Amino acid sequence: MSTISTNTGGLSNEAKKKIICEAIDDISHIATLPEITVKIIELVESPDSTAHDLHMVIANDPALSARVLKVVNSAFYALPGQIGSINRAIVLLGLNAVKNIAIAASLAKLFRGGRLCPSFSAPDLWEHSLGVAAGVRLLADKISLNLPDEAFLSGLIHDIGIMVEMQARRAKLVKVFEQLNAKADGGLTFRQAELQVFGVTHEELGFALCTQWKFPKFLAHVAGYHHRPLQLEGDSQLIVSLVHVADVLAARHGVGYTGTVDRPEFDEGVTDVLKLTAEQLSEVEQELPAAVEVAAQLMSS
Ligand SMILES: [Fe+2]
Ligand SMILES: [Fe+2]
């Protein structure tokens, strides 16, 4: 299994790898990606697949078909008229967009579950993820990055490593929150508490899960580097930086669970990478609450 390294925490890479592999192995028994999503990812990654193949797969799953049409007909796309068929949706949006919508539609299920402890529940994290998704989409639009579905999905998925902890290492995650509560003065960050309890962070676990599930590479990078985008080089840095900024904005606005964001400022240099002006940022902050509402409606079942 491929893993990433962090420059914090005292464990050897071998020891970390073992912790990550065991957690990912355990979560595979608890939560699997729906078979249909696996099929769609494979289909779109395959160079020979056609819109017809994708249509056949989605049309066989009424719940997913309904979800895709709901997304396509939402305010996000502002398409002329009501789109009533999956075929039409694929023609209008393209294979890739429909793939991303299908992955997004499968994710909500993973975030189900009750309250873990007084300070954390899976629905709180889902709300945070929706807030970040809405924020990344707005930010992508500001910098004219024409990838609205990738942007949205990046936000939804960024903290998926915490779901690995919640589903596969429940008792230990409770300990993380106990440690954070004991140092409520802010002397301990979420990732420092994770390192103390698990020996690894949700970034490392998220990266491993996305890799295991064969999600597109940029999503693994988002899950693995959103707290430190400048440590990542290459094509994904831009979208990971957008997620970093949206994560901080969502926390500033108190959208869902906000405890994983260490501080209310962006990592130094990130806004330069994005060429985001202060004016654009304040526009996004203003537009965020309404966008979060649209996102929540869109993803509600
Ligand atoms: Fe995070
Ligand atoms: Fe987050």
Per-residue pLDDT of the chain in tens (301 residues, 90 and over written 9) = 556 655 556 789 999 999 999 999 888 777 777 777 788 888 877 888 888 888 888 888 888 888 888 888 887 777 778 888 888 888 888 877 877 777 787 777 777 777 899 989 998 999 999 999 999 999 999 999 988 888 999 999 999 999 999 989 999 999 999 999 888 777 899 999 999 999 999 999 999 999 988 888 999 999 999 999 999 988 899 999 999 999 999 999 999 999 999 888 888 889 888 999 999 999 999 999 999 998 888 777 6
> What is the dihedral sign for C-alpha 129, 125, 23, 109?
negative
Residue 51 Cα to ligand 1 midpoint, Å, equals 35
In a domain, 98, yes or no: no
In a domain, 157, yes or no: yes
The answer as to whether 65 is a domain residue is no
Residue matched to tokens 């939804």: 156
Residues 70-101: tens digit of each pLDDT: 888 887 777 778 888 888 888 888 877 877 77
pLDDT by residue (tens digit) across 277-292?
999 999 999 999 999 9
- pLDDT for 7 equals 52
How many whole angstroms from 35 Cα to the centroid of ligand 1?
27
What is the distance in A from the centroid of ligand 1 to the CA of 92? 33
- Is 8 within the bounds of a domain? no
- Separation of 259 CA from ligand 2 center, angstroms? 8
**3-state SS, residue 289:** helix
- For residue 135, being part of any structural domain is answered with yes
Residue 285 alpha carbon to ligand 2 centre in Å: 16
Q: Output the CA 243–ligand 1 centroid distance in Å.
A: 10
129 CA to middle of ligand 1, Å?
A: 10
Residue 10 corresponds to which tokens in the numbers above? Answer: 């005292």
Q: What is the extent of the structural domain holding 190?
A: 13-29+112-299
Instruction: Say how many residues make up the chain.
Output: 301
Are 43 and 263 a contacting pair, CB within 8 Å?
no
**How many angstroms separate the alpha carbon of residue 190 from the centre of ligand 1?**
9
Residue by residue, DSSP assigns 206-255 as HHHHHHHTT--HHHHHHHHHTT-GGG--STTHHHHHHHHHHHHHHHHTT-
Place of tokens 């924020």: 135
- What ligand has the least distance to the C-alpha of 206? 1
**158 to 36, 99, 202, 210: CA distances (angstroms):** 22, 18, 9, 10
pTM: 0.88
How many A from CA of 18 to the centre of ligand 1?
A: 21
145 near 242, Cβ under 8 Å?
Answer: yes
CATH of the domain at 219: 1.10.3210.10
Q: Cα dihedral angle (23, 29, 30, 34), rounded to 10 degrees?
A: 110
In a domain, 198, yes or no: yes
From the CA of 227, the nearest ligand is 1
> Within a domain: residue 213?
yes
Please tell me the distance between residue 201's alpha carbon and the centre of ligand 2 in angstroms. Answer: 13
215, 93 in Cβ contact below 8 A?
no
Half-sphere exposure of 174 (CA within 13 A, CB side): 6
Determine how many CB atoms are found less than 10 A away from the CB of residue 68: 24
Task: Check if the beta carbon of residue 253 is closer than 8 Å to that of residue 285.
Answer: yes
- The answer to whether position 77 is within a domain reads no
Structure-block tokens of residue 86: 């999956």
Question: How many distinct structural domains can be found in the chain?
Answer: 1
Q: What does the pLDDT read at residue 9?
A: 62
Q: Could you read off the pLDDT of 192-230 as tens digits, one per residue?
A: 999 999 999 999 999 999 998 888 899 999 999 999 999
Sign of CA dihedral 87, 88, 90, 91: positive
Measure the CA–CA gap between 6 and 133, rounded to whole angstroms: 25
Which residues touch 116 (CB under 8 Å, ≥6 apart)? Answer: 122, 166, 170, 173, 174, 177
CB atoms within 10 A of CB 248: 22
Rg (CA), the chain: 19
